[in-house]
Chain A
């Protein structure tokens, strides 16, 4: 079911996720990302819909990264960015928020 709504492709150290993440596939997406090793960046700029379940999935991935002593770069789509702001989340532990061109000035990633 999860792959019907969204795709996950690997390009070197970057995982590119595109499509929709909701309560039906958030766990699948999280597990697919979680099993990859050597990932530095999770690119969600192509996610046109992310529900609250997707936000929770990102928290879990961030916690896993913290457990590994890791910090992942996270690229957000406008809709995901708005979801995070509505949830008062200007940071997710284990992630550094970046724009396409690099770190976003003033972002508090990893805190």
Chain B
């Protein structure tokens, strides 16, 4: 591996690095030299990390801790799509202000999740890690993603490592030769089969035309309301699902099947069509451009649902939306 200097002098511009630690000592050894370099170079340093990491790094920095901006991870980590958008907006704001920023982020995506939830939230977050490589690159910044191997399985850690073009090690930031290109990773995600829906569901609707959308929305409203969702959260479920059903009717092939069920605290909506048209690798991950005429439905769904998983087979396209109660009621929506 070749070493990379992430300070302004000789900087390669955008640096998206994984920082994988297994102890407080490894955290200090790997992160502190990088923070020192960033501060010395006059960069703004933003730490969006958990309480334990903050304590360790503050103690290690001593008097220099005051030069660092400490941001509670809760300010960023909400629904997964919104989390990504919040970071993007933050970086855009910093870039516009004209000062290079080094953000150290410790994804806080497991702590508040229901352990019985029907989705692996960490796995659902990884596409956004991959997307950083393209979406944040224009902001000429450094983003260091901190993952603690004491909190995540080895497979997750290896997956995280593969999605970062750089890794922060004890001897500096180095290029990661095992890096997986973003487009390849995202395309592969659509090939992963979803867990089968339960045999018994709350809602099971068939949609043949756009004229039936209003009926679907009414059914979803009644269902989510009956499951204890508040008005704004119901709107989110309905708006997200409407966009996916519309896509299925317009771009897939009717009949479209819409199912809804509850698993633990999560409402799940699955939309299936028989078009078997593979979704674009970046489908719904990139914000629509001003005036863009199509392609907004999946973007909206990825913002309003906590997690969206998709799978295309030879005969069907499946899109599954997850709305955990607590996370969906966390607000307000800050995107945009």
Contact = CB atoms under 8 A, between A and B. Distances in A.
Nearest to B235: A79
A35 B246 CA distance: 27
Nearest to B287: A88
Contact of A89 (B209, B214, B290, B303): B290
A23 B297 CA distance: 11
A79 B299 CA distance: 16
Nearest to B243: A52
A37 interface: no
A85 B211 CA distance: 26
A56 B293 contact: yes
A51 interface: yes
Given A20-B217, A22-B213, A23-B213, A85 B246 contact: no
Nearest to B218: A20
Interface string B157-171: 000000000000000
Interface string B171-200: 000000000000000000000000000000
B253 interface: no
Nearest to A91: B290
A24 B297 CA distance: 14
A99 interface: no
Interface in B286-332: 287-288, 290-291, 293-294, 296-297, 299-300, 303-304
A49 B234 CA distance: 12
Contacts of A23: 210, 213, 246, 249-250
Main secondary structure of the interface of B (DSSP, over half): helix
Given A22-B242, A85-B336, A86-B336, A52 B296 contact: yes
B300 A52 contact: yes
B293 A51 contact: no
Interface string A20-55: 101110000000000000000000000001011101
A51 B333 contact: no
A interface, how many residues as a size bin? Answer: 20 to 34
B262 interface: no
A7 to B, nearest CB: 14
A55 B293 CA distance: 9
Contacts of B335: 85-86, 88
A82 B246 CA distance: 19
A23 B293 CA distance: 12
Contact of B239 (A1, A5, A83, A84): A83
B238 interface: yes
B336 A51 contact: no
A22 B336 contact: no
A104 to B, nearest CB: 15
B258 to A, nearest CB: 14
A22 B136 CA distance: 33
A85 B214 contact: no
Contacts of B336: 84-90
A98 to B, nearest CB: 19
A79 to B, nearest CB: 6
Rank and list the top 9 A-B pairs by shortest CB-CB distance, nearest first. A85-B336, A52-B296, A24-B210, A23-B246, A23-B210, A22-B213, A24-B211, A88-B336, A86-B303
Interface of A: 1, 4-5, 20, 22-24, 49, 51-53, 55-56, 59, 79, 82-90, 93
Given A88-B288, A90-B336, 5 more contacts: A4-B214, A49-B235, A49-B238, A51-B243, A52-B243
8 contacts: A22-B210, A23-B246, A24-B209, A51-B243, A52-B246, A55-B296, A87-B299, A87-B336
